[in-house]
Structure 1
Amino acid sequence: MSRIHDIRLAGWAGIIPVFTIAFYFTASGTLEATPPLDSPSAHLQTFVQQSHIAMTWQVGVSLTLVLYLWFTAGLIEATHVPGQSQIPARLVGWGAATVMALSCCCFAVYMATAFQGELSVNSPDLIRALLQASVLLATISYGPMALLLLGGGLLLRRSRVLPSWLATSALVLAPLIGLLTFTVPILHGPLASGTFISLTVGMVLFTLWVTAAGIALVRWSYRAQPTLPDTSSDPLSSSHAARMDQSS
Structure 2
Amino acid sequence: MEIIVVIGGPLEEGAIRRWLHQKLQQKDNQKFQFIGVDGGCLKLMSEELPIDLAIGDFDSISSGDKEILKNYAAKMIEFPSEKDFTDFEEALMWVAKSYPQQKIHVLGAFGGRVDHAISCLWTMFRPELQALIPYLSLEDEWNHISFLTPGEYVIHKLEHTKYLSFISTGSVKQLTLKQVKYPLNHQDYDFPIALISNEFIDEQMEISFESGGIIVGQTRDSWR
The structure in which a higher percent of residues are strand is: 2
Is the structural similarity TM-score above 0.5? Answer: no
Q: Which has the higher contact order (CA 8 A, sep 6+)?
A: 1
User: Which has the higher Rg, Structure 1 or Structure 2?
Assistant: 1
Q: TM-score, normalised by structure 1?
A: 0.24
